[in-house]
């Protein structure tokens, strides 16, 4: 059973470009969470999604950031018009529907904005 | 709102010595509590978790943690540290009413001296 997969592992963008980060949850998991880790800091919750629904987006910046988890395919975290402050590691986690408290983390995508 | 404090930013111990990493949380009721380990450039691996029952929790790699409600603490311990334990350690709290949204501490970096 493959773990949580994220791609790309590293992403370089210039200011103003768009960044798309993908997360494939573990097989059988229907809950996905996105976290951001800035240098020298812990993980900060961004958004919690179930298939086709955003459950909690209280940690998402109000502008430029969006997330989706379609019926088919991976979850996508999209950052429009990136700025240098968006440079961070973005981690995805997934959990099964009946054990939401136990999250399994992917390896992360490290975004660098030049 | 829930919060987590890891008072020690950096700890250095000698190989074979015992280890204790501190974690204090703030939450209105009994939370879910977790310890994760992160090696450089990697994702997070769950070491152990507390949900209920026995307050002394055993985890992987010889780690254990003790939940002390009176002190709002969940300290991580290991009797004898190995060089491969050098990494960053994160304590996290999850709300029972919204288990998918974990709050992380800022982490403790462990260095192991030979």
Chain segment B80-96, per-residue pLDDT in tens: 999 999 999 999 998 76
What is the rounded distance in angstroms from the CA atom of residue B3 to the CA atom of residue B94?
Answer: 10
Are B21 and B75 in contact, with CB atoms under 8 Å apart?
yes
- Closest chain A residue to the Cα of B109, Cα to Cα: A40
B100 vs A44, A95, A110: nearest CB: A95
Share of chain B above pLDDT 90, in %: 72
Confidence band for B30, pLDDT divided at 50, 70 and 90: confident
- Closest chain A residue to the Cα of B48, Cα to Cα: A102
Q: What is the mean pLDDT of residues B28-43?
A: 86
Chosen from B29, B100, B109 to mutate, greatest number of chain A CBs within 10 A? B100
Confidence band for B9, pLDDT divided at 50, 70 and 90: very high
- Chain B nearest-CA distance from A98, in A, is 11
What pLDDT is recorded for position A70? 93
What is the rounded distance in angstroms from the CA atom of residue A41 to the CA atom of residue B104?
Answer: 9
Instruction: Tell me whether residues B49 and A102 touch, CB distance under 8 A.
Output: yes
Chain segment B45-76, per-residue pLDDT in tens: 999 999 888 899 999 999 999 999 999 999 99
Residue-wise pLDDT tens for chain A (114 aa)?
578 999 999 999 999 999 999 999 999 888 999 999 988 788 899 999 998 899 889 999 999 999 999 999 999 999 999 999 999 999 999 988 766 667 889 999 999 999
What pLDDT is recorded for position A85? 94
Quick one: CA dihedral B24, B95, A26, A93, positive or negative?
A: negative
Cα-Cα-Cα-Cα dihedral of B26, B32, B37, B43, to 10°? Answer: -110
What is the rounded distance in angstroms from the CA atom of residue B114 to the CA atom of residue B104?
Answer: 30
Instruction: Tell me whether residues B100 and A107 touch, CB distance under 8 A.
Output: no
Number of Cβ atoms within 10 Å of the Cβ of A101:
17
Which residues does chain A have within 8 Å of residue B32's beta carbon, measured at their own beta carbons? 101
- Closest chain A residue to the Cα of B106, Cα to Cα: A42
Q: Which residue has the higher pLDDT, B101 or B65?
A: B65
What pLDDT is recorded for position A82? 97
Chosen from A8, A32, A42, A102 to mutate, greatest number of chain B CBs within 10 A? A42
Which residues does chain A have within 8 Å of residue B6's beta carbon, measured at their own beta carbons? 42
């Amino acid at each position: 059973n493959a773990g949580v997969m994220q791609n790309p592992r590293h992403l370089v963008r210039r200011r103003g470009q768009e960044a798309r980060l993908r997360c494939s949850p573990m097989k059988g998991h229907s809950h996905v969470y996105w976290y951001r880790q800035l240098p020298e800091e812990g993980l900060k919750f961004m958004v919690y999604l179930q298939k086709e629904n955003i459950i909690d987006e209280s940690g998402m910046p109000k502008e430029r950031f969006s997330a989706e988890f379609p019926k088919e395919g991976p979850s996508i975290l999209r950052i429009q018009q990136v700025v240098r402050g968006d440079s961070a590691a973005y981690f995805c986690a997934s959990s099964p529907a009946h054990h939401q408290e136990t999250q399994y983390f992917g390896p992360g995508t490290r975004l660098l904005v030049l | 709102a829930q919060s987590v404090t890891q008072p020690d930013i950096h700890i250095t111990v000698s190989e074979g010595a015992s280890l204790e990493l501190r974690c204090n949380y703030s939450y209105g009721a009994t939370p879910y509590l977790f310890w994760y380990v992160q090696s450089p450039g990697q994702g997070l691996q769950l070491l152990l978790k507390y949900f209920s029952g026995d307050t002394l929790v055993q985890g992987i790699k010889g780690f254990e943690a003790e939940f002390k409600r009176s002190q709002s603490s969940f300290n991580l311990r290991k009797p004898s540290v190995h060089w491969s334990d050098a990494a960053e350690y994160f304590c996290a709290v999850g709300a029972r009413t919204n288990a998918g949204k974990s709050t992380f501490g800022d982490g403790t970096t462990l260095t192991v001296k030979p």
